[in-house]
Amino acid sequence: MTAFWQAGTNGRVNSRMFSKNRLDIIEADLKENKQIGQYLQYTFSFPKKKRRMGSDQFASRLKKRGTKMAYPNGKLSEEKVFKDPVHRYVHVRDKLIWDLIGTREFQRLRRIKQLGTTYLTFHGAEHSRFNHSLGVYEIVRRMVDDVFKGREEWDDSERDLCLCAALLHDLGHGPFSHSFEKVFRLDHEDFTRAIILGDTEVNRVLNKVSPTFAKDVAEVIAKTYQNKQVVSLISSQIDADRMDYLQRDAYYTGVSYGHFDMERILRVMRPREDQIVIKQSGMHAVEDYIMSRYQMYWQVYFHPVTRSAEVILTKILHRAKQLHEEGYVFTHAPVHFYSIFEGNVTLEDYLSLDESIILYYFQAWEKEEDEILSDLCRRFINRRLFQYAEFNPNEEMATYFELTNLFKESGIDPEYYLVVDSSSDLPYDFYRPGEEEERLPIQLLTHNGQIKELSRQSDIVDAISGKRRTDHKLYFPLDLIEGLPDGRHAKRMKELLGLK
């Protein structure tokens, strides 16, 4: 062992050893003993008051870090930045993150819209899951690099894991995400895990960190990772995922509802055992965030025109699947859909689908001989959407059944042209024992150091806590009703639908 390390046997590193004439000794020691390098890296990542650490503490820290390893050529020689309308800049300083962004699977997210069919309601909503994923990464980067770094309750060795999970959390989304999943009974979280752990470019990049790193990333996204602080950064009632999509979706849709003081929230976040808490001084910023989320759901995400487009999209996919099962011969064969229709989709099949492929088929199917498929595709492509009426399933089922019979008698298939759609949201929920992790409440750190649940301190949040709001609408093609040759049927349908 060299003189340099002997000088530090009491657990403290003598700062005088860092003169220029000792750099060669330092370099030699780092090569000689990897644990010395880890010790120095760990020691100098903390303020001076935290640097007094004995050998037992150091050994315990190394054991806690487990098999985590550094990514080859860890830092980029020059920082990369993405101009961003929400965060101004997204900063990439790590080669690991830069390499993940460049993978085939991550680049695919450029071709998946963040808001599905919402662009047919708010014309600016053309942004992608690629944009959003970078935004979530940037928020988490600020948390771990600027807010939590060096704090006693935070493990800085989890940094790379946090950044990768934030970047990759939406990796498995398919085209028109939730509508697509509903029809084919798929789960984007399953595909996210498959991409991270399977034979993919993303997996090969993650494996360069350590043999278990990809598994850790998948566990964080699945909310099963043992360190719940890490999980809560992207999966909780106030997380980087929600903070980015609320602001980003508000920006691209042009509405004012989704804006809140994210800077303030970041400044008052604090790591505590198994959770992230908010200092009480930031409570009003959190109230604003929760109300912004509530308004965005009902004014944007559950907009009735957007839901009309989703209904038609869903029915197109249902019809195409039904025709395939019946042996219908398509003029434009849905070769990209065969494995999905038949329930044996592979990861490669799934990754080959994006929204440009879906829209290509919709345009081609406008010319199909099947009248229902052709009509639905024309409606979607040309934005000739269904009208809607308010509907209460607890009181108006008799009305629905009468409408169903009238549709059948008029030659309009109610399976595709009379559709009940329901939307539901819970803006904030207090703690309920046994609920899933994402339902854990937002905790406030009071001035005297106590931790209290948000709705116990905020009258605004208490007023909406645990109150689920559900909305039901009945969608139908008004143009087909008005074009019926039997005027009596058309009149009765309009009466039942509350139309003049």
Enter the tokens of residue 299.
């004014």
- How distant, in Å, are the alpha carbons of 150, 217, 289 from that of 265? 19, 25, 9
How would residue 486 be classed by pLDDT, with cut points 50, 70 and 90?
confident
Domains, the chain, with CATH or none: 1-36 (no CATH), 75-301 (1.10.3210.10), 310-424+472-496 (1.20.1250.30)
CA distance 118 to 114: 9
Strand runs (DSSP E) across 291-398, as ranges? 387-390
Q: What is the pLDDT averaged over residues 317-325?
A: 97
Comparing CA positions, the residue from 85, 96, 369 lying closest to residue 210 is 96
Enter the tokens of residue 31.
């090569």
pLDDT exceeds cutoff 90 at 483 = yes
Q: What is the pLDDT averaged over residues 403-431?
A: 87
How would residue 32 be classed by pLDDT, with cut points 50, 70 and 90?
very low
Question: Helix %, strand %, coil % for the chain, to 5?
Answer: 55, 10, 35
pLDDT in tens, 155-210: 999 999 999 999 999 999 999 988 899 999 999 999 999 999 999 999 999 999 99
Enter the tokens of residue 32.
């000689």
Q: What is the pLDDT averaged over residues 210-233?
A: 96
How much is the pLDDT for 436?
Answer: 42
How would residue 317 be classed by pLDDT, with cut points 50, 70 and 90?
very high
How would residue 130 be classed by pLDDT, with cut points 50, 70 and 90?
very high
pLDDT exceeds cutoff 60 at 439 = no
pLDDT in tens, 345-389: 999 999 999 999 999 999 999 999 999 999 999 999 999 999 999
- How distant, in Å, are the alpha carbons of 11, 54, 57, 152 from that of 29? 16, 19, 21, 28
The DSSP annotation for 129-162 comes to HHHHHHHHHHHHHHIIIIISTT-TTS-GGGHHHH
What mean pLDDT is reported for the chain? Answer: 86
pLDDT in tens, 40-80: 444 444 444 444 444 454 444 444 444 556 777 689 999 99
